[in-house]
Structure 1
Amino acid sequence: MKYIKRFTALFFEYLYRFIQFLLSPIVIYIALICIQAIYLVYFASILTDFNGVVRFLFVSLSAFMIFYLISKDENTNYKMTWIFFIMLLPNAGGLLYLLLGNKRPSRWLKRKIQPEVQYFNETRYQDPVIRNQIINKKIISLDYLNRQSFPIYNHTECKYYSLSDYNYQDMIKDLLHAKHFIFMEYFIVSKGLMFDTIIGILKQKVKEGVDVRFIFDDFGSFTTVPLHFAKKLEESGIKTVMFNRFIPVFSLSQNHRDHRKICVIDGYIGYSGGFNLADEYINCKMRFGHWKDTGIRLEGEAVWSLTSMFLSTFYAYHKEYHGEDIEQFKPHTYHPEPFKNTGYVLPYGDDPLDDEGVGESVYLNMITHASRSIDIMTPYFIIDDVMLKALCLASKNGVKIRLYVPHVPDKKIIFRVTRSYYYDLIRAGIEVYEYLPGFLHAKVMLVDGKAATVGTINFDYRSLYLHFECNVLLYEAECLSAIKRDFREMNEICAPVKIDDSRHFKGLVEGLLRLFSPLL
């Protein structure tokens, strides 16, 4: 009888949780989007069966979209995926591509943000004296990034964090000492110890007269913040932006998310990295084992690049602030003394507002110009043939390449696609390691021990083509020693993947997932 009662109690508890899950906003919204997609395909099918002229028009549209894709200057994997999908559904495929296929953002999002991005691009200036000090400009894409209005600085002190647990501790101290303004921009915001502590500080700073501005992505935080969260922040005096509000509409614009992680304090202290404002990032909450993430702290002139990226988004949503004097946010305004020179620092961003894949271009450039070694940490590894060939070719040319990925996945399908690359990589001489303690969320690349990039850009299609992102590139900087040490320590706690084991991760299912990976 006791076991029956226990079983009944457990059954109703899990039933209650399941019903709660089904009634959660994210499940309802995704269901609405799926219903729209199914209805669209069904509607097109009914129309084409009912009327031959309509069928001819729909099939002609699909054929036109295929020819359009063939001639379009587009990522080959992305094109082939859509061509296959359109051929699979000739009645509705062309229409679906019109709604979802083009990676460019919707016109309203572009009109809203691009003018601000262009405005702040003009505020970033490359000192030619500093530029001329760089001997190997190609390995850090210096000329390319200068053309994208991202300068390199040398009066900036850097601190690298091998765990966001340590990053969080220092960020709290800096927030408590803020005197003039605090700017924060994050993809995920989740109620808990980490964010509640930070919000408490921000509210207190508002009372002290500090200008506090906060940006968060609506989709990234959709299930983790309470209703009317943005409104409550505004009521407490925090100037808030809810980026690209998530609406359950079958539209590509929902794909463009703000994946940046930026914190700027008084204009001369800046933070970035892979961590969001949620407890799992500092291991106060265990979701997928131990959470490995990295971060970086800047103090000096390079912080202006982070500040200007933040303001370009903030002004897009708060036009009333566009006329304010931006000189008040420059690094030397509240720190007139010279900053330390500990190497070269180049913060840069990427966005889907143009056809320039800055994140992918920098990664490819670092890979092709490596002469000795490449070390990579990434949570997701879903790349195209160009990136795969570049890595394999570098390895065959004698460059020692090590790739570190999670052992415990947060997204099982993505993890399965990631593992599908192991065999090709290992066969080319690339060493692959899985982070045994849990989930690896860091985004770090170290090349030849003298150049590294740390930030938010994953090795996947969403980061490289759809999201708003930011990274910090380091060249001959003192903190590179900490990054090297982090990779050495990773070797001790990660398991190497053997080529015989990697064969099991590549099959028919993985091939199909790879085929549709640009749509994941």
Structure 2
Amino acid sequence: MNWIFSIVNLVFFVNTLFAIVTVFKEKRDISATWAWLLVLNLLPGIGFLIYLFAGKKISKERIFDIKAQEKLGIDQLVSLQKEQWNEKELLPYDVLTNEAQQTSRLFLEADQAIFTNNNQVKVYTDGQEKFAKLLADIGNAEDHIHIEYYTFYSDEIGYQVLDALEKAQTRGVNVRVIYDSMGSRGQVRNFFKPLEELGGQAEPFFGSKRSYFHSPRLNYRDHRKIVVIDGVIGYIGGFNIGDQYLGRLEKFGYWRDTHLRVVGNAAVALQSQFFMDWNATVKNSAESAPIEYADRYFPLQRGQGTTGIQIVSSGPDNETEAIKLGYLKLISNAHDYIYIQTPYLIPDDSVMEALSVAAYSGVKVRIMIPSKPDHAFVYRATEYYAKELLEKGIEIYKYDEGFLHSKTMMVDGQMCSVGSANLDFRSFKLNFEVNAFCYDRKLAVELTDIFKQDLKFCTQLSTEYFAHQPRWLRFKQYFSRLLSPIL
């Protein structure tokens, strides 16, 4: 029998050695390092398969492809705005509070995010209304349509959008589409072929159209949701393209999300982000070419709107984590209240501490999460952190009307954020995200009122709620929390 124990010990020794080599050969933060060591050692052999799908980092060559892209169309504006900040000539000094001025400067320095102040904004919280307007805008497009979605399913609404794009391409509008192959898994093969035969272009983000099996990597996905039409109209928020986002899947029920339709110069910033993603994606494509700067893509406008907006992006190509820094800045700016909606509540230590400091300082912090999971481990980790924050005096609500997918933050009726980034490790470090940080009291109050309306369909969680949960469920919450840096 001794030889059996010897073999087992040898297997565990070799597994541990390979785990250490595998994890440490790529740079990552300490929490993720320990989480992967836990997985690889607790699940010998199987852990390495999980790592192959969820742990392997994006190649340095791909990272360079993204970093090498210039913010076409706005790079000169960034330099100009930095000079104006130094001379205190930029408009935010006249119209923004001190806190908002600091936030605006933060994004300009950390992400080269230009400030635009002439935007008209419409909030959409219902998929039927959002897609009806999007289809109408596509139908009225005159020059170009640029679409970038994490999910573009080949279902009823997917075919509706594709049909509208094909009609636009037929009448001479240039159509370009970026989709994430993992987010769009299950999509019919050659789904975009009719559009491409008409002259339109569709590319998987860092994928290959030639292979039926796209990259199985779970991390480093294009989670952004961007639409730019004629350089004038922009869409940004949480809705993807799929029937579930219209509440057509029984599994999720009503889909509660938040999206913005923007008319104004913020569309220029969205356009520039799309250019960067497109040019990095098609670098090695035989079918599609990079986009070159042209005035028609960046028609600076004198709009009638009054909303100040900065389009802020983050991803594994940039260690600054600009969106997280924005969340931290908004939280630290709060004096009265902070309202947050997020489907995935897995904050890192810095966000946990910032929320705790705000609550301890008398700021009313309310966080709304879903009442049902779409990813089991992620939801159990969300429950764990909800309990932790509840114990620090933060109000936690679960939305019972359907599935809550909205990613919003509202502070003091002054500033707000709407976009694709959740309050979790994945959005901070592992995926490519984009948010609109808005400086407009009217818009911030509108989103706050929407939050309060949603409270009518929520259950407020209490310490008793968690205390009465089964031990097995609490164990899964604690275990999921250990894996939170890699979920």
Assess same fold via TM > 0.5: yes
- Which residue of the partner structure matches residue 480 of structure 2? 513
Could you report, residue by residue, the CA deviation over 1:293-349 in whole angstroms, capped at 9, with x for unpaired residues? 1100110111111111111111223457446333220133xxx6x202413111111
* Secondary structure, counterpart of 2:69 in structure 1: helix
Change beyond 3 A, Cα 1:410–1:390 = same
Q: Distance in 2 between matches of 1:294 and 1:354?
A: 26
- Counterpart amino acid of residue 107 in structure 1: K
Change beyond 3 A, Cα 1:154–1:46 = farther
Q: Which has the larger radius of gyration?
A: 1
1:95-134 alignment, distance < 5 Å: 101=55, 103=57, 105-117=58-70, 122=75, 124-125=77-78, 127=81, 128=84, 129-133=90-94, 134=96
Q: Distance in 2 between matches of 1:395 and 1:470?
A: 27
- Which residue of the partner structure matches residue 105 of structure 2? 143
Contact persistence 1:256–1:468 (CA under 8 A): yes
Contact persistence 2:92–2:101 (CA under 8 A): no
Alpha-carbon distance, 1:222 to partner: 1.4
Alpha-carbon distance, 1:47 to partner: 12
Unaligned residue ranges in structure 1 (runs of 5+): 1-44
Change beyond 3 A, Cα 1:504–1:67 = farther
1:24-103 alignment, distance < 5 Å: 49=10, 75-85=29-39, 101=55, 103=57
Could you report, residue by residue, the CA deviation over 1:235-272 in whole angstroms, capped at 9, with x for unpaired residues? 23221111122889998955211111111111011011
Q: Distance in 2 between matches of 1:354 and 1:192?
A: 34
* Secondary structure, counterpart of 1:353 in structure 2: coil
Change beyond 3 A, Cα 1:84–1:238 = same
What's the RMSD between the two structures over aligned residues?
A: 3.3
Contact persistence 2:119–2:309 (CA under 8 A): yes
Q: Distance in 2 between matches of 1:226 and 1:410?
A: 22
Q: Distance in 2 between matches of 1:428 and 1:240?
A: 47
Q: Is 2:121 aligned against 1:158? A: yes
Task: Work out the number of aligned pairs and report it.
Answer: 463
Change beyond 3 A, Cα 1:248–1:386 = farther
Q: Is 2:189 aligned against 1:227? A: yes
Contact persistence 2:411–2:444 (CA under 8 A): no
Q: Distance in 2 between matches of 1:47 and 1:114?
A: 46
1:499-510 alignment, distance < 5 Å: 499-504=463-468, 507-510=474-477
Q: Distance in 1 between matches of 2:213 and 2:188?
A: 22
- Counterpart amino acid of residue 114 in structure 1: K
Q: What TM-score do you get using the length of structure 2 for normalisation? A: 0.85
Alpha-carbon distance, 1:409 to partner: 2.1
- Counterpart amino acid of residue 255 in structure 1: N
Unaligned residue ranges in structure 2 (runs of 5+): 1-5, 85-89
Could you report, residue by residue, the CA deviation over 1:196-223 in whole angstroms, capped at 9, with x for unpaired residues? 2221111111111111111111111111
Q: Distance in 2 between matches of 1:287 and 1:88?
A: 32
- Counterpart amino acid of residue 208 in structure 1: R
Change beyond 3 A, Cα 1:503–1:68 = farther
Which stretch of the first structure deviates more once superposed, 214-223 or 322-331?
322-331
- Which residue of the partner structure matches residue 326 of structure 1? 294
Contact persistence 2:74–2:269 (CA under 8 A): no
Could you report, residue by residue, the CA deviation over 1:340-385 in whole angstroms, capped at 9, with x for unpaired residues? 2413111111121121212222112211221110000111111223
* Secondary structure, counterpart of 1:439 in structure 2: strand
- Which residue of the partner structure matches residue 469 of structure 1? 433
Q: Distance in 2 between matches of 1:467 and 1:156?
A: 27
Contact persistence 1:185–1:263 (CA under 8 A): yes
Q: Distance in 2 between matches of 1:275 and 1:238?
A: 23
- Counterpart amino acid of residue 113 in structure 2: F
Return the match for 1:449 from 410, 413, 428: 413
Change beyond 3 A, Cα 1:220–1:140 = farther
1:282-361 alignment, distance < 5 Å: 282-319=246-283, 321-322=289-290, 324-332=292-300, 338-361=302-325
* Secondary structure, counterpart of 1:316 in structure 2: helix
Q: Distance in 2 between matches of 1:489 and 1:140?
A: 31
Alpha-carbon distance, 1:63 to partner: 5.6
Q: Distance in 1 between matches of 2:131 and 2:50?
A: 43
Alpha-carbon distance, 1:137 to partner: 4.0
Contact persistence 1:153–1:344 (CA under 8 A): yes
Contact persistence 1:153–1:345 (CA under 8 A): yes
- Counterpart amino acid of residue 340 in structure 1: Q
- Which residue of the partner structure matches residue 12 of structure 1? none
- Which residue of the partner structure matches residue 382 of structure 1? 346
Alpha-carbon distance, 1:120 to partner: 6.3
Contact persistence 1:241–1:317 (CA under 8 A): yes
Change beyond 3 A, Cα 1:495–1:95 = closer
Change beyond 3 A, Cα 1:498–1:369 = same
State the identity as a percent. Answer: 30
Which structure features the higher share of helix residues? 1
Q: Distance in 1 between matches of 2:243 and 2:54?
A: 34
Change beyond 3 A, Cα 1:81–1:131 = same
- Which residue of the partner structure matches residue 369 of structure 1? 333
- Counterpart amino acid of residue 273 in structure 2: M
- Which residue of the partner structure matches residue 237 of structure 2? 273
Return the match for 1:174 from 130, 133, 137: 137
- Counterpart amino acid of residue 330 in structure 1: F
Q: Distance in 1 between matches of 2:335 and 2:293?
A: 45
Could you report, residue by residue, the CA deviation over 1:142-182 in whole angstroms, capped at 9, with x for unpaired residues? 22210111011101111112323322222222111111111
* Secondary structure, counterpart of 1:416 in structure 2: helix
* Secondary structure, counterpart of 2:98 in structure 1: coil
